[in-house]
Amino acid sequence: MSNHKYQHGVTLIEMMIAMVVSLVLVAGVGTVYFSSKRNYQTRDELSQMNESARSALETLRKHLEHAGYATPSKLPLGAYFFVNGDPNPVSQECGGGKNNLQDATDFTGRGTRDAFNANGDAISVRFLGDNNLFTDAAGASLPDECRVGKAANMNASLIYNAFHVDNDGTTRDSNNVFVPILYAVGSNWDNRQPIVNGVENIQFQYGIDGDGNGTADRFANATNVGAANWEQVVSIKVALLVRSLGNVLEANSVRTYNLLDATVTTPADRYQRAVYTTTIQLRNVVDN
């Protein structure tokens, strides 16, 4: 009796079914992978945005609250906001010809004002430098010979801090778009200094204390403060629009954000954005 050996295989239909099942599995795995990757990128961008906002607000708080500092002796400082239209700060000689305000530093047009540029407002404050406080917003230390008590006059001891948002015309992100930057202009630096990347717009309002009780009765933008009221400002509201440095959204979108009294409409893009706000108390002003 002969033995017949049979070789079993798969039919074409079975192969097609197996291929379809495999494709479904691969597609599912791919979907999960790309979704996880997108979620990770989104979380990373949002984390970076939060860190940028925290750093920017902390820097603004640290340096703007110096406004009105007139040493423990409460020397007569006068105006503690440098407002757009005020006479430009003049270099004061001290320390054998070394200026506390460098000749090359240009504060013209960088005084406190609304709509400084397309990226929002600008702000500038001033205070006296002494052994307790002698660093400007750009990180430069006032020369010892320019501090109160050692300078020829108080004007030579004035420190100016200014902030605005712009781009440097060079730094671009992965979309080849200029990166918006929060800048500080210090009176002891020749050039503006970048502070934080990703800050796209900045807005300010000023708390005016009309009855002298140390608390703001109303808030107004720079245009509506009024020339006679700047020395009644006891606090500053700050609003930042911070954006991601890479694409986060799945499709281009135009969105509108409210920053204090300003409305900002973004171009159609895939950046994630968020608004961050704080109120800075001018403690040196209130304590005087």
pLDDT tens, position by position, 28-79? 666 765 666 666 566 777 788 899 999 999 999 999 998 888 878 788 877 8
Domain assignment present for residue 282? The answer is: yes
- Model confidence pLDDT, tens digit, residues 180-238: 999 998 877 667 889 999 999 999 999 999 888 888 899 999 999 988 889 899 999 99
Is residue 23 in a domain? no
Q: Which domain range does residue 57 map to?
A: 37-287
In this predicted structure, the answer to whether residue 24 has a pLDDT above a threshold of 80 is no
Half-sphere exposure in the Cβ direction for 35 (13 Å, CA): 6
Domain assignment of residue 172, yes or no: yes
Distance CA(43)–CA(22), nearest Å, equals: 31
CA distance 229 to 224: 10
Give the chain's domain count.
1
Asked if residue 77 lies in contact with residue 128, where contact means CB atoms within 8 angstroms, the answer is: yes
Residue appearing with tokens 């002796």: 73
Higher pLDDT, 8 or 257: 257
Distance CA(136)–CA(142), nearest Å, equals 8
The DSSP secondary-structure symbol of 216 reads -
Q: What are the tokens at 277?
A: 């706000």
For residue 68, the model assigns a pLDDT of 86
Supply the pLDDT for residue 151.
77
Task: Tell whether 226 is covered by a domain.
Answer: yes
Contacts of 104 (CB under 8 A, 6+ apart): 190, 191
- If one compares 79 and 119, the residue with the highest pLDDT of the two is 119
Q: Is residue 87 part of a domain?
A: yes
Q: Is 277 helix (H, G, I), strand (E, B) or coil?
A: strand
pLDDT in tens, 151-191: 777 777 888 889 999 998 898 888 888 999 999 988 776 67
Residue 13 lies in a domain: no
The string of DSSP letters for 189-206 reads: -SS-EEEEETEEEEEEEE
d(CA 93, CA 101): 9
Q: What is the pLDDT of residue 52?
A: 92
Mean pLDDT (the chain, rounded):
82
Q: What pTM does this model have?
A: 0.81
Residue 7 lies in a domain: no
Per-residue pLDDT band for 25 (boundaries 50, 70, 90) equals confident
Higher-confidence position of 11 and 269: 269
| CA contacts within 13 A on the Cβ side of 174 | 8
- Look at residue 16 and tell me if it is in a domain: no
